[in-house]
Chains A and B, each alone.
Chain A
Amino acid sequence: MSGQRNGQVGRRITQAVTYSILPTVVAIVAALVATSIVVWATGAPIGGFVDTMLSVPSHRDTIIIVNQASMIALSAFAAAICFRMGLFNIGVEGQYIVGACAGAFFAGAGIVPGPLNILATLVVAMFAGVVWAMIAAILNVTRGVSEVISAIMLNYVALTLAGYLVKNYGERSGYTFTTPKIAPSSQPLGFGLFADAPDIWALAILAVIVGIGYAFLLGWTRFGFDLRTTGESRTAALANGIDPRRMVLVVMAISGAIAGLVWMPSFFGSTHTFGIPEYFQRGLGFTGLAVALLGRNTSLGIGFGSLLFAFLATQSNRLQSVGVARDVVEITQGVVVLMVVIAFEIARRIKVRREQERVARELEPATTGAPA
């Protein structure tokens, strides 16, 4: 009995290595090779590129990688929950801009004192993200407008709206405008890792919390089952008493709420104010979409993918000192996502074929043995 169980565990591990880890490693190596070819083709020093990208990051860089990864991961979870239901929420970008802007105004006003302000701000930011996501969701369920089209437009509206609000209701800072800075009593302490580098932002922990919540919601709840079923087939879901339109609204709302949190780690950990372009980081919404794909919409995958993307982006900062344009790293990021999709598809086909062969083999003695 125990031997059989050990065999099962062993087979599971082998399967995980063969069908999950191996394709990922292959994808990353392929992406580095593809980028190296581009670097080589442009005549830049390829050794410098590989050395820089694979070097061990400094303490400060390590902190930046973790901090950036936390925001990328939040954005990826916002995208992933929609992907699992067959929705393409390209509007994470706009939702997190609106969330950041609303949160920053609320926190700066200091309506709630001290550390409570942090909690209240998170709620406000999430709510703003939900409101923004709801525009696309309601248009989708009531008018059949593709959520992709409306959300992509709303991204631009969000940026312009945030700019307008900050300009008209914010404070002047240098050449631009920002929201009022948050009071020191509402600035949380971070997690110190190294003595000679800044702390990890306190709210980076949000990524871990959301990651665990995401895994639990999808894997262990009735709602998660409904969600995945709707993702597989809307008609099947309907036949089983799941209202797909209600699901679209609820899932978009959850996605918008997570998106509203995306920039909060940076806001409370570093900038303490919001203003475009200097006191905000744009583009995280789109990075999140790529990382959700890369991470196969799983918590662990997204965690790993966001660290990888943050690592690549941070390492690329030093590329120019060895004479390589840092933009090539975007090629690496793009190719990783592409290769992961391809590699997992190949792995899936191999798995299916092997299963079929195994089943055929197990049935063989029975069929050949029958006449005798």
Chain B
Amino acid sequence: MRRLTRAAALAGAAALALSACGTAADNDGDGEDTNAQECEVTQIEGDPKVALAYDVGGRGDQSFNDAAYAGFEQAQTEFGFEGTEGEASSDESEEVREQRLRGFAGDGYNVIVGVGFAYSESVDKVAPDYPNVAFAVIDGFDPTEDEQNCNVAYLTFAENEGSFLVGVAAAEQTESNTVGFVGGVNNTLIQKFEAGFAAGVEAVNPDVEVVSTYIEETDPRGFGDPAGGQAAAEGLINDGADVIFHAAGASGIGVFDAVTSADLWAIGVDSDQYLTASPEQQPHILTSMLKRVDVATYDFIKSAVDGEPLSSYSLFTLADEGVGYSTSGDLLSEEIIATIEDYEQQIIDGEIEVPEQP
């Protein structure tokens, strides 16, 4: 996993925020940033006690939150610490999220992971009060760039790189020369998936058209709306798409339903969705773009247990196996897998630079 300096972290944030070109790695260690602030390693007191604070949905979503739990569980089996979990309720206020984190810290939990970018703000507010607690926010960002918290790690992913690979798969698999993308909510995070996917398709065959749609513009319910996912996918099928990649959380179930009844292909997201799909859907789930939230969670907990908790931005890339693709069900042909592996190597070697904005 690639550790980033403060300068690179700012560049990473800028890339997220301003669709700046170039990846964070380009600036790695150039140390030009005068605002760079030396961070001492967070010293957690006593034995590590780990708390996971989930976003809405919590454990059992077969996706994001479950992946975080898997990483937590793996670390717990390995290191044997005390752990707890807390879940957000829908429509809760920012203050309640903060109180959840304070509650953990007050109960002596010294390693706290906020699962989902919605915790960015609350962690930023709570962290200064607990300097001996190591915080992490998955998909997080620092809302106050000028006042960095040394005891907070933002675990981010190169979703564009993983999406590139499934884009390659889609372009190879399509017969109609049209592939589709369904996003849950039209924000810059989900646009990273779309951008990588489109770039992968383009790399294989520029003649293949990518049609994209988002379930919601801003409403986070776009991630929990299977009916909306189905309607979106049906629209793309009408446009001729025969392979559809979704980055829409639980709404993806609707995408799977749509391709199953139309006898076409879907590509899952975050976790290996072939494994959790129904038997009717399984033959239609070509592959899944893996975002290894479990790896990030495990790595962060391990770093804290080892006494050197991660801080600032950490980007999990293809090279770190922080993102990838799945082959469950053996639906990808060997030729396609060979092509994907070829591109994978090129991305790891830096020969291909995957865009973050569509």
Contacts and interface: CB of A to CB of B under 8 A. Distances in A.
A237 B93 CA distance: 42
A132 to B, nearest CB: 18
A281 B91 contact: yes
Contact of A317 (B18, B103, B189, B219): B103
Contacts of B86: 317, 320-321
Interface residue tally on B, bucketed by range: 35 or more
B91, B117, B187, B189: most-surrounded residue (chain A CB, <10 A) = B91
Nearest to B141: A174
Nearest to A61: B99
- Most chain B beta-carbon contacts within 10 A, residue among A270, A279, A313, A321: A321
A285 to B, nearest CB: 10
Interface in A277-319: 277-279, 281-284, 313-314, 316-318
Contacts of B117: 174-175
Contact of A326 (B84, B87, B95, B120): B87
A266 B189 contact: no
A64 B117 CA distance: 23
Given A175-B117, A271-B94, A163 B217 contact: yes
B188 interface: yes
Interface stretch (A145-153, A164-172, A364-372): A164-172
B209 to A, nearest CB: 26
A164 B217 contact: yes
A159 B219 contact: yes
B152 to A, nearest CB: 14
A337 B189 CA distance: 41
B191 to A, nearest CB: 9
Contacts of B92: 281, 313
B91 A314 contact: no
A160 B17 contact: no
Given A67-B95, A175-B187, A321 B107 contact: yes
A317 B99 contact: yes
Given A64-B99, A174-B117, A316 B89 contact: yes
Given A174-B141, A317-B99, A276 B219 contact: yes
B217 A320 contact: no
Contacts of B219: 159-160, 163, 276-277
Interface in B72-103: 84-87, 89-96, 99-100, 102-103
B118 interface: yes
Nearest to B89: A326
Interface size class of A (residues with CB under 8 A): 35 or more
A169 B92 CA distance: 26
Contacts of B99: 60-61, 64, 314, 317
A177 B218 contact: yes
Contacts of B143: 173-174
Contacts of B118: 277-278
Contact of A283 (B17, B91, B187): B91
A327 interface: yes
Given A177-B218, A320-B85, A320-B86, A68 B93 contact: yes
Nearest to A266: B93
A283 B141 contact: no
Contact of B141 (A164, A175, A314): A175
Nearest to B100: A317
A59 to B, nearest CB: 11
A160 B217 contact: yes
Nearest to A286: B91
A271 B85 CA distance: 26
Given A60-B102, A174-B143, A282-B91, A277 B220 contact: yes
B218 A176 contact: yes
B121 interface: yes
A267 B12 CA distance: 30
Contacts of A172: 17-18, 188
Interface in A111-137: none
Nearest to B118: A278
For B17, B85, B103, B107, the residue with the greatest tally of chain A CB atoms inside 10 Å of its CB is B103
A314 B216 CA distance: 29
B59 to A, nearest CB: 10
Interface in B176-227: 186-189, 216-220
B15 interface: no
B264 interface: no
A270 B107 contact: no
Contacts of A67: 95
B16 A163 contact: no
A175 B191 CA distance: 10
A317 B96 contact: yes
B95 A278 contact: no
Interface string B114-151: 00011011000000000000000001010100000000
A277 B93 CA distance: 10
Contacts of B102: 60
Interface in A18-64: 60-61, 64
A321 B103 contact: yes
B218 A276 contact: yes
A164 B121 CA distance: 22
A67 B118 CA distance: 21
A175 B93 contact: no
Contacts of B94: 270-271, 278-279, 281
Interface of B: 16-18, 84-87, 89-96, 99-100, 102-103, 107, 117-118, 120-121, 139, 141, 143, 186-189, 216-220
29 contacts: A160-B217, A160-B219, A164-B218, A167-B217, A167-B218, A172-B17, A172-B188, A174-B16, A174-B120, A175-B16, A175-B117, A175-B141, A175-B187, A175-B189, A270-B95, A271-B94, A276-B219, A277-B218, A277-B220, A278-B118, A279-B94, A281-B94, A314-B99, A316-B89, A317-B103, A320-B85, A321-B86, A325-B87, A326-B87
